[in-house]
């Protein structure tokens, strides 16, 4: 094979793996936007776990899971962590409305995430 063909094959293979990685990192679930100055994102669903990232105002996050009192989120940059349930009061939905969390809807929320 000449160098031109080798380069073309390498580019195609690299493009394929890039597309796979971006598809794998795209989270599904309700999107919320930070309305307060910031929201702390923890490594795990407990206040004792370290804060490893601070989502700033107007940053988008996807809610991907829930544990008692906590929501797992994925940021626009693909970071995953946990926010306290109370932090949802500091977010807006995709239409710009304040997010209100109703505990009676937890079952529907989790069911929708698993689809």
Our CA angle for 41, 45, 46, nearest 5°, is 95
Ordered by start, the domain boundaries in the chain are: 27-113
pLDDT at 27: 72
pLDDT at 100: 78
Tell me if residue 58 falls in helix, strand or coil.
Answer: coil
Residue 59's pLDDT band, with cuts at 50, 70 and 90, is very high
Q: Please tell me which of 3-12, 21-30, 47-56, 95-104 the model is most confident about, judged by mean pLDDT.
A: 47-56
Residue 77's pLDDT band, with cuts at 50, 70 and 90, is very high
Residue 23's pLDDT band, with cuts at 50, 70 and 90, is very low
Q: Name the burial class of residue 79, with classes exposed (0-12), middle (13-18) and buried (19+) by CB atoms within 10 angstroms of its CB.
A: middle
Task: State the pTM of this model.
Answer: 0.69
d(C-alpha 25, C-alpha 32), whole Å:
17
pLDDT at 84: 96
Domain 27-113 has CATH 2.30.30.40: yes
Q: Are residues 35 and 91 in contact, defined by beta-carbon separation less than 8 angstroms?
A: yes
Whole-number average pLDDT of the chain: 80
């Amino acid at each position: 094979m000449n160098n031109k063909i080798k380069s073309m094959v390498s580019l195609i293979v690299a493009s394929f793996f890039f597309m796979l990685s971006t598809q794998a990192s795209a989270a599904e679930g309700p999107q919320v936007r930070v309305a307060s100055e910031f929201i702390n994102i923890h490594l795990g669903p407990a206040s004792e776990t370290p804060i490893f990232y601070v989502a700033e105002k107007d940053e988008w996050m996807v809610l991907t899971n829930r544990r008692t009192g906590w929501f797992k989120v994925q940021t626009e940059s693909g970071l995953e962590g946990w926010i306290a349930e109370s932090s949802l009061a500091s977010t807006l939905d995709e239409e710009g409305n304040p997010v209100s969390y109703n505990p009676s809807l937890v079952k529907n929320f989790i069911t929708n995430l698993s689809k």
